[in-house]
Amino acid sequence: TEEKDTDIDNDAWNIFNFSDPKPSLIAETDYILVVWGDKYARIRAQDLGPSNTYWFESNVYNDWPATLDGPTSSYDRSIYCFYTEGEANEAPTAPTSLEVDGKSTPTGANCVTATPQFTAIFNDPDAGDESNAIQIQVGSAEGLSDMWNSDWLADSTVEGNRCSAKTYDGAALSAGTSYWWRCRFRDDDDAEGAWSDWQQFDVCAAEPEPEVGLLECAPGGPLPKRCPFRVR
In a domain, 210, yes or no: no
Same domain, 80 and 146: no
Per-residue pLDDT, 204:
96
Residues 196 and 100 reside in one and the same domain: yes
Q: Is residue 215 part of a domain?
A: no
State the residue range of the domain holding 77.
1-88
Q: Provide the pLDDT for residue 20.
A: 52
104 plus 194 within the same structural domain: yes
List the pLDDT tens digit at each of the 232 positions of the chain: 444 444 545 544 454 555 555 555 555 454 545 444 444 444 444 444 433 333 333 444 444 444 444 443 333 344 444 444 556 889 999 999 999 999 999 999 999 999 999 999 999 999 999 999 999 999 999 999 999 999 999 999 999 999 999 999 999 999 999 999 999 999 999 999 999 999 999 999 987 766 655 556 666 666 556 655 555 5
Beta bridge partners of 182: 137
Domain-embedded: residue 171? yes
Q: Is residue 226 assigned to a domain? A: no
Residue at 173 is within a domain:
yes
**Residue 206's pLDDT is what?**
85
Give me the phi and psi of 74, to 5 degrees please.
-85, 0
Residues 103, 185, single domain; the answer is: yes
129 within 8 A of 108, measured Cβ to Cβ: no
Together in a domain, 78 and 110: no
pLDDT of res. 19? 52
Q: Are residues 7 and 82 in the same domain?
A: yes
Same domain, 150 and 182: yes
Residues 124 and 193 in one domain: yes
Which CATH number belongs to the domain containing residue 131 in this structure? 2.60.40.10
Any domain includes 232: no
Statement to judge: residues 27 and 107 lie in one domain: no
Q: Examine the domain organization and report whether 116 and 167 are in the same domain.
A: yes
Task: Tell me if 140 is assigned to some domain.
Answer: yes
Helix or strand or coil: residue 182?
Answer: strand
* Residues forming a β-bridge with 79: 56
Nearest to 96 by CA among 126, 128, 119: 119
68 and 37 both lie in a single domain: yes
pLDDT of residue 231: 55
Number of domains in the chain: 2
Note whether 78 and 119 are same-domain residues: no
Domain contains 221: no
- Residue 82: the pLDDT is 44
Contacts of 68 (CB under 8 A, 6+ apart): 30, 42, 44, 57, 58, 59, 75
CA 96 – CA 193 distance, rounded (Å): 12
Instruction: Report the pLDDT value the prediction gives residue 39, as an integer from 0 to 100.
Output: 43
Give yes or no for a contact between 152 and 166, defined as CB atoms under 8 angstroms apart.
no
pLDDT attached to residue 84: 46
pTM comes to 0.57
What's the pLDDT score for residue 42? 45
